[in-house]
Structure 1
Amino acid sequence: MDYIAPVSSAIMAIVWIVYFQLFFLQYKRNNRPYLVIHHAQNENPDALCLLVNMGKETVHVQCVQVVLYTRAGEEKIMTVTEYRRVGADDANVHQVLRQGPLQPGGYLVLGSFRNIILGRRSEESESDYLFEDITGVEIRAAVIHGPTKYPVGVRRSFSLSHEGRPEIFPRNIHSEQLVRRKDRHQVRRWVEEELQPERKGSSESDDSDQSGPEK
């Protein structure tokens, strides 16, 4: 009967290991960022598009981009971020820059889908495409979540119909979360395309865009 005590201790140790593993997985799941690209007001292309932070921690928005797909099969990438000078006391700084901290439960108004698609081109007399030329849209954002140094991303795709009154429909009900290790390179590439850093890389090193100039 001397073996009962060691066996009981081993079983208890296994139970505690499983318990802590489940607790850790639940903790990671609860603290994982969750962003939503929200399409308001049904299928109207003049409806607002919102970037909503449904996670439990604040995120810092680094960039928001739109990928346009045309009838001719072309793909165009544009930024939804406007780099304009604003005052430190500007209450609408988020809406102007499309950047900065986004609190849990908070949202960022990206503009109407029509304005996002046309961008600054809507103010120009000549444009290389028309609103009617666009058949698909992907809206994507890169953010920094909590203490991690790696950006995470979210994206959502929409289809446009120009038969009669223009309409826009989401491809599905979900916003794709790019938060896994395998997604880091893709999300980092979005940020590098946006910021055009002197150096590019995946870590804070001499080969990284986050490093200072050589001395």
Structure 2
Amino acid sequence: MFEWISQHKDVLSVFTSIGTLIIWLVYAQLLYLGFRRQRRPRIIINRGKRKDIDALCIISNMSAESIFVEYIIAELETSRGTITMDVTDFEQEYEEGDEEGEGEPEERRERRTLNPGRVDENTRQGPLESGDFLHIGSFSDVIKRLARDEGIEMVGYRPAGDLKFYRLTIRLITIYGPEDMPVGAERGFNLEDNDHSYALIPATWDTQRLASRRQRRQLRKMVQRFNATNFSSASSFRCIDNDE
């Protein structure tokens, strides 16, 4: 055995070096994937408490670090165009039981506040720690606010006349940790008319992350435009006279 090893020591040395290199490459890949996972923002937009249009719009920060919420944009697609509004500044109140966490220890529920460290409780702009959440009211409240801003007459949850609502998209623009470029997240919810209200169905199974270089450049330009124009709302909605 030792004689065979002595005769083939050069070949064995090569294979040993190759094996060691492969092990180090795998180890380095695992370290890189772990580092990348830690640096990747993870924001979830979901329904809370209910599953219909009265559900709360829950925003959760599942990233490894805190995020700074800069803008929350709501976009309503209708049969006559799209209505877009900045809903960052919007009255919100947290009531015990708004999220499924009644069984948690009291100190844990207290830490899961909606406005941690914020002076003005009328705005959602501000830091959101890792593992924390906030809600922006119910989806029906957001829709009614968009309709009211555009002068759309509502009958309950539905618009009057032949106007149809198709989809509500919630889009976030945030700053993640120490990074300079903004990151975003968005999720659309289809609105299916059931004659007396709207069923709320997520368009995708998960929240879409807006974190590629191209998307982050677009978000930065969007923030610059919002700041320069004092953006509050925009619309491609087409009003139709009754005579038409």
Shorter chain as normaliser: what TM range? Answer: 0.7 to 0.9
Q: Structure 1 residue 137: deviation in Å?
A: 0.9
Which residue in the other structure is 1:77 paired with? 84
With 128-137 and 90-99 compared, the bigger mean Cα shift is at 90-99
Aligned equivalent of 2:24: 16
Match of 1:153 in 2: 184
Q: Which moved more, 1:46-55 or 1:185-194?
A: 185-194
CA displacement 1:49-80 (0-9 Å, x = unmatched): 111111221011110001111122x0121111
| Other-structure match for 1:202 | none
Structure 1 residue 162 corresponds to structure 2 residue 190:
no
Give the TM-score of the pair, scaled to structure 2: 0.67
What's the secondary structure of 2:37's corresponding residue? helix
**Corresponding residue of 1:32:** 40
Tell me which structure has the larger Cα radius of gyration: 2
Other structure's SS at 1:97 match: coil
Aligned length: 191
Q: Distance in 2 between matches of 1:44 and 1:92?
A: 30
Verify the 8 A CA contact 2:66 2:130 in the aligned structure 1: yes
- SS of the aligned residue for 1:56 comes to coil
Aligned equivalent of 1:183: 215
Q: Find the aligned partners of 1:91 and 1:47 in 2 and give their Cα distance.
A: 26
Instruction: Give RMSD over aligned pairs.
Output: 3.0
Change (3 A) 1:185 1:7: same
8 Å contact 1:142–1:190 — kept in the other structure? no
Distance 2:71 2:55 in 1: 21
Q: Deviations over 1:124-180 (max 9, x none)?
A: 7x8146452422111110111112111111101011133333122211321111122
Q: CA deviation at 1:3?
A: 6.0
Q: Which of 87, 93, 106 is 2:132 aligned to? A: 106
Give the equivalent residue in structure 1 for 2:203: 171
Contact 1:94-1:100 within 8 A present in 2 as well:
no
Q: Distance in 2 between matches of 1:94 and 1:15?
A: 53
Q: What stretches of structure 2 of length at least 5 have no aligned partner?
A: 1-8, 92-114, 231-244
User: How far apart, CA to CA, are the structure 2 residues paired with 1:120 and 1:17?
Assistant: 53
If asked which structure has higher relative contact order (CA below 8 Å, sep 6+), I would say: 2
- Aligned match of 1:57: 65
Cα distance, 1:4 vs. partner? 4.6
Deviation of residue 102 (structure 1)?
Answer: 0.3
| Equivalent residue number for residue 175 of structure 2 | 144
Distance 1:172 1:120, change over 3 A: closer
Q: Which amino acid aligns with 1:116?
A: V
1:119 Cα deviation from its structure 2 partner: 2.3
1:117 corresponding residue in structure 2: 143
